[in-house]
Copies of this chain bind each other. A is one copy, B any other.
């Protein structure tokens, strides 16, 4: 039995045929229609039809769709997807009537977390917390072998638990959210602060950014850090410290077997992972004595969304 996983991003709709082992057998991509619910359902249907047409008849049995937004608890309606311009969009129904297969809608971070838990860095474990360190922070919880979606479908918004009372303002309206300290945006803020206040120490980063503070972006800091630049490593050290603090909190609450770190910031590999693990070990409660959850890097990269959405459609 095969399924199709669809990953609706801000610029492209990527879809793939997913088998029982989480392998992608075939794949297509289309541009995302802007703020056009019917058009979006059309594109998804087209991708599904194209992929189905290349498989044995009736071998594809269900479709899972991952989308960056709040999805209701019935996995049918997108409550809000800011980047796609969607509100209260009954995407499941629209796609289902076009493709004639069972459809489930899922938050994209949940889909990716599920993929990592089943086929990636978390396979073999029933208790996984995935943390996606992108511009902000996304999350996905697999507990007792099942995806934890919460009562209203919005669980795992770990980027918006409060790390610092009265802390940095967040776009969500609150102050001190974790993603203000431990995300890609936070990394860039550290790098640019350093470049602005201590240009000599930040010389290498500034050079890679053509001397423009505002161009000290994530890839600049990552490259400088990979070259061994001290100031860039310190930026990762600071962000890694905050990531580890957050994992310690999540461990106190959830007691997972492992944490899986994905997203652009995790591309730095051990440069991020080392300070994260040190911080986590130092800050988690119950030390010494406590059995520590492992902290691993995600393995599936950008395809996690397709694989997870496809696999969730199977269950």
Contact surface of A with B, Cβ cutoff 8 Å: 70, 79-80, 125-127, 139, 141, 143-144, 146, 148-158, 160-169, 172-177, 181, 189, 193, 196-199, 245, 248-250, 252-257, 281-283, 285-291, 293
Q: How far is the CB of A61 from chain B (nearest CB, A)?
A: 24
Q: How far is the CB of A157 from chain B (nearest CB, A)?
A: 5
Known pairs A157-B285, A174-B285, A177-B285; list 18 more (Cβ under 8 Å). A144-B148, A148-B254, A150-B254, A150-B255, A152-B255, A152-B290, A155-B254, A157-B253, A158-B253, A161-B248, A161-B253, A162-B249, A164-B167, A166-B176, A167-B167, A173-B196, A174-B283, A198-B287
Q: Given the complex of chains A and B, what is the CA–CA distance between A94 and B242 in angstroms? A: 44
Q: Given the complex of chains A and B, what is the CA–CA distance between A181 and B175 in angstroms? A: 12
Verify B285–A155 contact, CB threshold 8 A. no
The contact of A252 among B143, B158, B288, by CB within 8 Å, is B158
Q: Given the complex of chains A and B, what is the CA–CA distance between A189 and B174 in angstroms? A: 11
Q: Given the complex of chains A and B, what is the CA–CA distance between A153 and B127 in angstroms? A: 11
Verify B161–A168 contact, CB threshold 8 A. no
- Most chain B CB within a 10 A radius of its CB, from A79, A163, A254: A254
- Most chain B CB within a 10 A radius of its CB, from A150, A153, A281: A150
Question: What are 11 pairs between A and B in contact, CB < 8 Å?
Answer: A125-B151, A144-B146, A148-B254, A150-B254, A155-B253, A157-B285, A162-B245, A162-B249, A164-B165, A168-B169, A197-B288
Given A160-B252, A173-B196; A245-B165 close (CB under 8 Å): yes
The contact of A198 among B166, B198, B288, by CB within 8 Å, is B288
Q: How far is the CB of A168 from chain B (nearest CB, A)?
A: 6
Verify B151–A127 contact, CB threshold 8 A. yes
- Chain B residue numbers with a CB within 8 Å of A253 are 139, 141, 155-158, 161, 250, 253-254
